[in-house]
Structure 1
Amino acid sequence: MKLRLTDTAVKNAKPKPDGKPAKHTDGGGLYLWVTQSAKVWRYDYTRPITGKRNTLVIGNYPETGLRDAREQHQTARDLLARGIDPSEHRKAQEAAERDMMANSFESVALEWLVKFRHTWSDSTYSKITGILRRAVFPWLGARNIATIEPPDVLEVLRRQEAGGKLETAHKARQYIGQICRYAVATGRSTRDPTPDLKGAIPPVINKSYAALTNPQEVGKLMQDIGRYPGRFETRLLLQASAYMFTRPGEVRQMQWAEINPDRSQWLIPAERMKLRQEHIVPLSRQMLALLDEIKPLTGYRQYVFPGRNDPRQPASNSVVRQALIRMGYQPDVMQAHGFRSTASTLLHEELHYPSDVIEKQLAHAVGSKVRRVYDRSQHLPERTRMMQEWADYLDRLMGALAG
């Protein structure tokens, strides 16, 4: 079989000039399928017995390189020579692995995630799954959950502690404990090993998010944002973060369908809010103008601020942080979450708004649980007035420096 591709050719492979997918063949039915967003190794073959054509997806490039793709291709060809359909063989292997892993920590964890998904906001769910996938699954995922002992968990936690991620270590312990207790409740384990680790790692010393609270510095920040040299969408995302001071994940996931321009409001659904209650954000004239500015670019998409690499998804959670760093604002000076602290401080100290109104706009839980049940006040007229005055105040701070 004559091979056609080289590592350089694979690396430089592109779709067709008109943007349609291109097929770069290597021989024997193996080829690289190249679209504008991905490169995928595929193998076209004829199924034994039925004689029908089928395609086996081998893997994505660059995760699967040319050499690895050829090896997997040859394995599939060897199976065919023995009358075995490689796609069916893969399914059988995966089924066997699923049976073997039915009581693994990862499988129980994934079941737990599905079971309790409705109790978390999108951002909380993403945080939990992120910690599990990065900090737990690589070391405990394949283990039978009934065999996990305290030293096994401690090893995972200390790995995070050694990397300076003490908060992640504590969160990991919390999630591991919840998953193990779920396994006990469903008859797949007999105990939760995490209580034995109390005091095994140092406590977290909580630090507030870094934020600018000096009016002149805030004016300079707004001026720098207005001159941001990066992507147009990122500049507007930074401005929206300042004007609305919602949680970073909320503004990144802002959707056109949630905006009511007639009422000058953005309604964030309960499932995306930390407190699991829908939240109204009054839109200032500046925010409405910003939305008009970006609408020709993203108005036909789901998200107001779509992702750069995949516009079907919201902007990355690192966009604002990276943009602030690019402008010279290091994380110990100003963070994406810091826009909330900036607004809270200056609305108190400079614009003299009452705490209840500010806290309601920040979507914080105010007062006792009993009080929150009976307090249905939205402070909407006051918040509408406050959001406009806040936007005007930011513009004045910026204008004072320009003058």
Structure 2
Amino acid sequence: MPVLSDVKVRTLKPKEKPFKQADFDGLFVLVNPNVSKLWRFKYRWMGKEKLLSFGKYPDLSLKQARDKRDQARKLLAEGKDPSFERKKEKATKDAKHRETFGRLAGALLEKKRLEGKSASTLAKTEWLHGLLCADLGSYPISQITARDVLVPLRKMEARGRNESALRVRSAAGQIFRYAIAQGLVDNDPTFGLKDALTRTPVKHRSALIDPEKVGGLLRAIAGFDGQPTTRIALQLLSMTALRPGELRMAEWSEIDLEKAIWTVPAHRAQNASPSYGTLAR
């Protein structure tokens, strides 16, 4: 069976009408009167003859055209239509290009809103997203690199806001992980920035450890004359040492009044494992 060679393809001369020069296994080159040489693959799918375009010679060499032909034949062997698979791949790439960082940030914020996050949490998230979107908002999220994310972070460090830069990096990571779940990106580029930012030495806040001062705080809470719910919430926090968000979202089903135990479910506890607080009688 005659097959093509690089020399033969290169020396093919155009004619008055387009003509085909076959290679093998369905691959051929279409030579047009305007001298263009186009790679085509002919195959049958569901009893019908179909054509798949690979590209133009010499932009696509004979070897590259054969590789594409072999990939298409592999899809056929798997029971897939190469033409449909190409359209699906193109649609996926187009969707990834349309999904910008800013749009994904907005979608994640809406997700948090639907999950019932507090107004303060939503406001903080929106603020962090705004700092990122000022530089990255219009970028297709699939094309953003660690170097791109570093731009807004370095701006914050230059203003001495090292802790804020760390929070912004964390917020960016959440957006990328959300995009991974949507099938829009394969990895989180912020992971590579873990050691790139300057960390401010931790300053531990003073705590009440003197029994007399603790007692004074509890008496001050008991004497609070504002909203009763605020006073009760402060008293509960002093008894259980749980987080304010865990208290705010508490449900009666979590509290066993007979045993004086409040169990915070794992899905709401920050450390992703159940928290327990004992209610003093």
TM norm structure 2: 0.49
Q: Hey, which of these two has a bigger chunk of strand by percent?
A: 2
Return the structure number with greater relative CO, CA threshold 8 A, min gap 6: 1
TM norm structure 1: 0.36
Larger radius of gyration: 2
